[in-house]
Chains A and B, each alone.
Chain A
Amino acid sequence: MNAPLDVLWLQSGGCGGCSMSLLCADTPDFPALLADAGLRLLWHPSLSRASGDEVTALLDEIANGRRPLDVLVVEGALLRGPNGSGRFHLLAGTGVPMISWVRRLAAQARHVVAVGSCAAWGGVTAGGANPTEACGLQYEDELAGGLLGAGFRAAGGLPVVNIAGCPTHPGWVLETLMALADGSLAAADLDALQRPRFYADQLVHHGCTRNEYYEFKASAERPSDLGCMMEHLGCKGTQAHADCNTRLWNGEGSCTRGGYACISCTEPGFQEPGHAFDSTPKLAGIPIGLPTDMPKAWFVALSSLAKSATPRRVKQNAVADHVVVPPAIRRTRK
């Protein structure tokens, strides 16, 4: 067995939600899961005993190259403001901007991992006029660059690994770290936006319980309706890269199962979609955000055909909050 991978976890301009999500990992013994995976938390802001100068001493040692670091995990956006000074986030007890710490620590780490869409792209923290000049570790929305620059490669050879999501699913984080620990994560396992492909090569639409409504374009009109939320309520599940409806959240949930639209929180720039989150922008009645891989003419033809063929059951249930018309019972034997 290899020596355990030392993981240092830092939080900057985010909500801490990715850490809270991580603790919801599906396991009866979280510390044992980490240990068995060959992961050792050198320090995590919510979980470790060390506080104050014990921590700054550790960070100094790593930043000065006196202690090796296997994985630097950053959660939360990097706050460059005001005016590039980084003073919107001084690491407590040090008076030094977090962006300076992250630059120095990233230069020493074997792998650098962005946990969550804030650390990956800037995320919600970079919303509106971006008052804090927030960015991701290696991206600013979809533009490569970010804090560390497009050319950054960690000592281990990989660019920043973007475990995007708002928050990230605990499974995405754990499997990425486990793959780093057993040396099985290669550049080819990352997609064009440096996200692990094991979850990013999927769409939220896959496995959505509303798929039958989608097929017939039987659409929800209000929150709590059962129908497909693509046509009116802003759902981007057909474009969002994530496995949320096949690898569920908190035991059995997902955004669409909770009755609200997928806002494509794993995609760069999702925080500023250019329209209200809860409604679908349309041009001449056709949603402008068409499903990934689908030509517009086909979508128009298919959806008008589908609408004309919608069964009464699907049409009525689509605008109710529970099944009002059950499926017909048919004899199974001839």
Chain B
Amino acid sequence: MSRLIVGPFNRVEGDLEVRLDVADGRVASAEVVSPMYRGFEQMLVGRPAMDALVVVPRICGICSVSQSVAAARALAAAAGVTPPPNGVHTTNLMLGTENAADHLSHFYLFFMPDFTRPAYAARPWFAEAERRFAALAGVQARKALAARQRWFELLGTLGGKWPHTQSIQPGGSSRAIEAAERLRLLARVREFRAFLEQELVGAPLEELLALHDEAALERWRAAAPGRGDLRLWLDIAADLGLATLGPGPGRLLGYGGFVQPDGGHAFPPGVWEDGRIVPLDLATITEDATHAWLADAPEGALHPSVGLTRPDADKPGGYTWNKAPRLAGRVVETGALARQLLAGQPLVTDFVARHGCGVAARVLARLVELARLPGLMEQALAAIVPREPFHVATRLPDEAEGCGLTEAARGALGHWLRLERGRIASWQIVAPTSWNFSPRDAAGVPGALEAALVGAPVSAGETTPVAVQHVVRSFDPCMVCTVH
């Protein structure tokens, strides 16, 4: 048995270290370490409630809209307000823009450069992977970066600026969209759709979304080898066996995405468990601090509505700043894979039925979701009625509680708040990567990534094993959100 400490782990958002015990060329056990703490939950206490709309997006520069939405929804719940339909659609558009940009950046800038490592120089696809995806040089990576920049211009109109817009309010959006602006936004969405069709998919998005099972996907891949970056990735995934690498717990959580004015969702909430979808019981969420550098509550693991965050850098047994969230005491995974399984997306469902929830399923779900987003955003733009209200006034009671849920690109994000005398008395955040990158809990059960890493191959002499990097990045971690 030998020990490897891997870090700094880059092309993830924020700081990450992974400690591995390696035996017989495989990871025997892993500890996932978030080595930075900022203390947002502490900083918010005592502030006027609406200040959270300024502070909370600054938890994360990659999914700041998601943080804003969760905060605004928690405040809306506390105030008992419902945004008007235009406010709902505008919020969806902003979230959709950010989530799509995250999926795009993840694939082109964070995930694919690992396939240009010298370790793969002998593979038949290597030269092409390097041409397309080399860090800061690959032709496709550069095109994607340019498409991303144009795409974020949507948020200039919708939210003033990105990251850290403050336009997302409990009562809707502070930026009303005019009729001509709606058309301009539509033109931008179509431009992005064209990028995805030409470069990523190499076919109309609907063609990809019509593939109902893995067999159809395989026929589609074989029909035009190498056309579009998705097909090249499928070639690489097949060659390296990425489908069975890094399996998750097989239990996935979603809070529901693209909320509609009638309360429905384009991506429904729920829990997916070994092929079955069961309802989500929010009351069974707890956070356990046993292995975090955070003081334990005498009662043990707590629901976030009564959660505690008190740093204790010297705590025995602590190895990370992340708490261990659990659902009814069990480890869950969250992200695009959860959303697409809960939505019953046929291709993703079939793929998971055959191979389980591994690296390839996570990436495939993200790309399928990316292909679905332009259509959903075109619908949201069609539903906006210029000159109808985008915002309703909000009055917060002095004493209240609220919970705000949303789907960030990386999965289920929840905020739980309590107001006393008009000020924030408690604000607890459970981020997607808190779920996926959780440490062990009081029972010693490892978190989702910690378990997924077990069995990953480590070649002789590897100090930063490339398979480990694929598994870690397949979750698209956001460590700044995790440890807030």
Binding site for B on A (CB under 8 A): 11-21, 23-32, 34, 41, 43-56, 79, 82, 85, 87-94, 98, 124-125, 127-129, 131-132, 134, 166-167, 222-224, 244, 248-261, 263, 271, 276-278, 321-322
Tell me, yes or no, whether B241 is within 8 Å of chain A by CB: no
**B8 neighbours in A (Cβ, 8 Å):** 45, 51-52, 55-56, 91-94
User: Do A224 and B155 contact each other (CB < 8 Å), given the known contacts A31-B137, A79-B36?
Assistant: no
Binding site for A on B (CB under 8 A): 5-11, 13-17, 33, 35-39, 42-48, 50-51, 53-55, 58-62, 64, 105, 109-110, 113-114, 116-117, 134-137, 142, 145-146, 148-149, 152-157, 159-167, 169, 171-176, 178, 311, 313, 386-387, 389-391, 393, 463-464, 469, 480
CB pair B157–A252 under 8 Å, yes or no, is: yes
CB pair B160–A128 under 8 Å, yes or no, is: no
Q: How many Å lie between the Cα of A261 and that of B54 in the bound state?
A: 10
- Chain A residue nearest to B46 in the complex (CB): A128
User: Do A223 and B174 contact each other (CB < 8 Å), given the known contacts A16-B62, A49-B117, A252-B156?
Assistant: yes
CB pair A260–B160 under 8 Å, yes or no, is: yes
Q: How far is the CB of A175 from chain B (nearest CB, A)?
A: 17
Q: How many Å lie between the Cα of A278 and that of B64 in the bound state?
A: 19
User: Do A277 and B17 contact each other (CB < 8 Å), given the known contacts A17-B163, A46-B109?
Assistant: no
CB pair B136–A41 under 8 Å, yes or no, is: yes
Q: How many Å lie between the Cα of A124 and that of B42 in the bound state?
A: 12
Q: How many Å lie between the Cα of A15 and that of B67 in the bound state?
A: 12
- Chain A residue nearest to B145 in the complex (CB): A30
CB pair B160–A51 under 8 Å, yes or no, is: no
Q: How many Å lie between the Cα of A278 and that of B165 in the bound state?
A: 14
- Chain B residue nearest to A233 in the complex (CB): B174
CB pair A222–B7 under 8 Å, yes or no, is: no
CB pair A23–B390 under 8 Å, yes or no, is: no
Which of A47, A51, A167 is the one whose CB lies under 8 Å from B109?
Answer: A47
Q: How far is the CB of B250 from chain A (nearest CB, A)?
A: 28
**A46 neighbours in B (Cβ, 8 Å):** 10-11, 13, 109-110
Most B CB within 10 A of own CB, among A23, A45, A52:
A52
CB pair B51–A276 under 8 Å, yes or no, is: yes
**A277 neighbours in B (Cβ, 8 Å):** 50-51, 53-54
CB pair B152–A24 under 8 Å, yes or no, is: yes
Q: How many Å lie between the Cα of A87 and that of B64 in the bound state?
A: 26
**B464 neighbours in A (Cβ, 8 Å):** 51-54
CB pair B42–A131 under 8 Å, yes or no, is: yes
**Nearest 10 CB-CB pairs, A to B?**
A258-B160, A17-B61, A93-B7, A92-B7, A250-B156, A259-B174, A52-B464, A253-B156, A251-B153, A128-B43
Q: How many Å lie between the Cα of A47 and that of B14 in the bound state?
A: 12
CB pair B36–A224 under 8 Å, yes or no, is: no
CB pair B58–A15 under 8 Å, yes or no, is: yes
Q: How many Å lie between the Cα of A88 and that of B483 in the bound state?
A: 11
Q: How many Å lie between the Cα of A91 and that of B153 in the bound state?
A: 34
Which of A18, A47, A54, A253 is the one whose CB lies under 8 Å from B135?
Answer: A47
Q: How many Å lie between the Cα of A12 and that of B154 in the bound state?
A: 29
**A223 neighbours in B (Cβ, 8 Å):** 167, 169, 171, 174, 391
Q: How far is the CB of B170 from chain A (nearest CB, A)?
A: 10
**B480 neighbours in A (Cβ, 8 Å):** 14-16
Which of A15, A82, A254 is the one whose CB lies under 8 Å from B313?
Answer: A82
**B152 neighbours in A (Cβ, 8 Å):** 24, 250-251
CB pair B173–A322 under 8 Å, yes or no, is: no
**B61 neighbours in A (Cβ, 8 Å):** 14-21, 167
**B311 neighbours in A (Cβ, 8 Å):** 82, 88, 131
CB pair A132–B173 under 8 Å, yes or no, is: no
Q: How many Å lie between the Cα of A92 and that of B61 in the bound state?
A: 20
User: Do A258 and B33 contact each other (CB < 8 Å), given the known contacts A17-B58, A251-B157?
Assistant: no
Which of A92, A125, A166 is the one whose CB lies under 8 Å from B15?
Answer: A92
Q: How many Å lie between the Cα of A90 and that of B286 in the bound state?
A: 27
**B113 neighbours in A (Cβ, 8 Å):** 49
**B136 neighbours in A (Cβ, 8 Å):** 31, 34, 41, 47-48
User: Do A12 and B6 contact each other (CB < 8 Å), given the known contacts A21-B61, A89-B15, A253-B160?
Assistant: no
User: Do A124 and B155 contact each other (CB < 8 Å), given the known contacts A47-B135, A93-B5?
Assistant: no
Q: How many Å lie between the Cα of A304 and that of B150 in the bound state?
A: 44
**B137 neighbours in A (Cβ, 8 Å):** 31
CB pair A29–B146 under 8 Å, yes or no, is: yes
Which of B37, B53, B164, B171 is the one whose CB lies under 8 Å from A132?
Answer: B37
**A29 neighbours in B (Cβ, 8 Å):** 142, 145-146
